[in-house]
């Protein structure tokens, strides 16, 4: 009855830390805050129990020095798993913390405690577009909000080959829509709809998005003008393309199960170096893009992206160099853009039972306007 509000916030934060396998308290905290898994958990050996206790003591010590309003910001971000919009958490950048023989900066410590226990170096991280700290603050302060960061997806890991028929494989008429996921049929129709918006005075789109359930497109194409777009099924404070509001006639149990697992979904962000995809959901997503792979390859890789990770799904410079008449991948694409395919939860390709994305329960076409 004599506990302060500050101590209550600190306790709630510690209970909401990122799950570490073998740590019952962390597991209880995760399920208690929405049941959202964070993808891969990290095993902690028994010999590290002392380090874990030291980490807890150090974290509590640091949290107790943070202003109460800042603790509320951190708690909002952590308990919502990034689903609620939270401002930057500006803290001194030169404060170091030592756990055992390892020294961490204050931001790294908070990232490890509240998102990624296996995080080793800041080079593994990418700041998200929601973070407004760069160039607008005192250089001695840095944003420590763990949900203003993502981890970089390393290419070559968790990737499989995807069948992609070329005109040589089907000399009469090229691949059917069931082989390519409907790209050859749907994309030109959608782009013509979006181009009509431009002619009516709307701002030019930089991409359009189509949502598919197996071989059926659900809803209209979504034309994107803003630099960043959230695509989600259910998001506490969501603005963007809400898949949960689309009317679907698909009664498949698998489709319904995967649809329910989309959750916070993904975030598409157009940046100077290309378009990035951030996996905000609790489950992996799978991406195929020509600019992610060797341009001479006849089959593109499908890349698995874990929760909390970002990948540069589209590179405008590489796309420009790939626009050659004989490129088999792009003879299948609409003339005004390139297509990236993204599936939720279930993958496709040689390592999976589904050979084509059109067999995946829930997936997206993202059609970029490169003109």
pLDDT of residue 3: 67
- Model pLDDT, residue 137: 56
Per residue in 316-353, pLDDT (tens digit) is 888 887 754 444 444 444 434 588 999 999 999 988 99
Look at residue 346 in the predicted model and tell me its pLDDT: 96
The reported pLDDT for the residue numbered 202 is: 56
* pLDDT value at 105 more than 80: yes
Residues 233, 161: Cα–Cα separation, whole Å:
28
Q: Which fold has domain 5-17+54-152?
A: Smad3; Chain A (3.90.520)
Mean pLDDT, rounded, for 215-224: 95
pLDDT at 326: 45
Average confidence (pLDDT) over 215-226: 95
Strands 96-99 and 90-92: unpaired
Query: From CA 232, how far away is CA 255, in angstroms rounded?
Result: 15
What is the pLDDT, as a whole number, of residue 328? 47
The rounded mean pLDDT for the chain is 78
Instruction: Name the more confident of 317 and 186.
Output: 317
Neighbouring C-alpha atoms within 13 Å toward the C-beta of 290 = 26
Q: What is the mean pLDDT of residues 275-299?
A: 89
Q: How far apart are CA 253 and CA 250, in angstroms?
A: 9
Task: State residue 21's pLDDT score.
Answer: 61
Spatial distance between the Cα atoms of 297 and 283, rounded to a whole number of angstroms: 29
- Largest Cα separation within the chain, whole Å, is 80
Question: Which residues fall within 8 angstroms of residue 98, CB to CB, at 6 or more apart?
Answer: 58, 104
Instruction: Kindly tell me if the per-residue pLDDT of 239 is higher than 90.
Output: no
Give me the sign of the Cα torsion angle 164, 169, 175, 179. Answer: negative
pLDDT at 283: 97
Q: Calculate the alpha carbon distances from 277 to 108, 198, 229, 231, 340 in Å.
A: 23, 25, 10, 10, 11
Higher pLDDT, 215 or 190: 215
- Whether 207-325+333-368 and 5-17+54-152 are alike in CATH topology: the answer is no
Q: Cα–Cα distances in Å, from 292 out to 154, 302, 363?
A: 11, 9, 18
- 3-class SS of residue 221: strand
pTM of the model: 0.81
Instruction: Enumerate residues 6+ apart whose C-beta is below 8 A from 139.
Output: 93
Q: Which two tokens stand for residue 330?
A: 């792009």
Q: What is the mean pLDDT of residues 213-228?
A: 95
| 140 Cβ neighbours under 8 A, 6+ residues apart | 92, 93, 94
Report the pLDDT averaged over residues 194-221. Answer: 78
pLDDT tens for 126-139 read 999 999 876 565 77
The DSSP 8-state label assigned to residue 185 in this structure reads H
pLDDT above 70: percentage of residues in the chain? 71
Give tens-digit pLDDT for 136-164: 657 778 899 999 999 999 876 667 776 54
CA 63 to CA 7: how far, in whole Å?
9
d(CA 212, CA 218): 6
Phi–psi pair at 220, nearest 5 degrees: -85, 165
What is the model's pLDDT at position 133? 79
Distance CA 52, CA 42 (A): 13
Higher pLDDT, 319 or 98: 319
Coil, strand or helix: which one is 55?
A: helix
Summarize pLDDT for 48-71 with one digit per residue, the tens. Answer: 555 778 888 888 888 888 899 999
Amino acid 158: pLDDT: 65
Note the pLDDT of residue 134.
64
* pLDDT value, residue 43: 45
Q: Which residues contact 61 (CB under 8 A, 6 or more apart)?
A: none
Return the exposure string of 326-341: e unless at least 16 CB atoms fall within 10 Å of the residue's CB, then b. ebebbebbbebbbbbb
Going by CATH, does the domain composed of 207-325+333-368 fall within 2.60.200.10? yes
- pLDDT above 90 for 80: yes
Residue 285 pLDDT exceeds 80: yes
Average pLDDT over residues 252-268: 96
Question: Domain spans of the chain?
Answer: 5-17+54-152, 207-325+333-368
Q: What is the DSSP letter of 203?
A: P
């Amino acid at each position: 009855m004599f506990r302060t509000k500050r101590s209550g916030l600190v306790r709630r934060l510690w209970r909401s830390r990122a799950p570490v396998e073998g740590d019952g308290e962390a597991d209880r905290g995760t399920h208690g805050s929405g049941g959202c898994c964070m993808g891969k958990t990290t095993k902690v050996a028994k010999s590290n129990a002392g380090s874990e206790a030291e980490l807890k003591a150090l974290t509590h010590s640091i949290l107790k020095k943070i202003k109460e309003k800042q603790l509320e910001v951190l708690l909002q971000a952590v308990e919502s798993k990034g689903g609620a919009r939270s401002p930057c958490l500006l803290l001194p950048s030169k404060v170091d913390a030592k756990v055992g023989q390892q020294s961490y900066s204050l931001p790294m410590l908070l990232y490890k405690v509240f998102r990624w226990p296996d995080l080793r170096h800041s080079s593994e991280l990418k700041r998200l577009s929601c973070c407004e700290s760069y160039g607008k603050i005192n250089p001695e302060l840095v944003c420590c909000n763990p949900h203003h960061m993502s981890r970089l997806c390393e290419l070559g890991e968790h990737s499989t080959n995807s069948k992609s028929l070329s005109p040589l494989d089907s000399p009469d008429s090229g691949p059917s829509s069931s082989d390519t996921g409907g790209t050859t049929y749907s994309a030109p129709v959608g782009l013509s709809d979006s181009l009509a918006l431009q002619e009516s005075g709307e701002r030019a789109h930089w991409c359009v998005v189509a949502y598919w359930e197996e071989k059926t497109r659900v809803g209209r194409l979504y034309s994107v003008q803003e630099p960043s777009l959230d695509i989600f099924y259910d998001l506490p404070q969501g603005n963007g393309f809400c898949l949960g509001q689309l009317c679907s006639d698909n009664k498949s149990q698998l489709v319904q199960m995967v649809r329910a697992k989309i959750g916070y979904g993904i975030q598409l962000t157009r940046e100077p170096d290309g378009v990035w995809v951030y996996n905000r959901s609790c489950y992996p997503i799978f991406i195929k893009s020509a600019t992610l792979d060797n341009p001479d390859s006849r089959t593109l890789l499908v890349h698995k992206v874990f929760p909390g990770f970002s990948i540069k799904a589209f590179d405008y410079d590489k796309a420009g160099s790939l626009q050659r008449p004989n490129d088999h991948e792009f003879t299948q694409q609409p003339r005004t853009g390139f297509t990236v395919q993204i599936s939720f939860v279930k993958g496709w390709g040689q390592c999976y039972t589904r050979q084509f994305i059109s067999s995946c329960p829930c997936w997206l076409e993202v059609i970029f306007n490169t003109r």
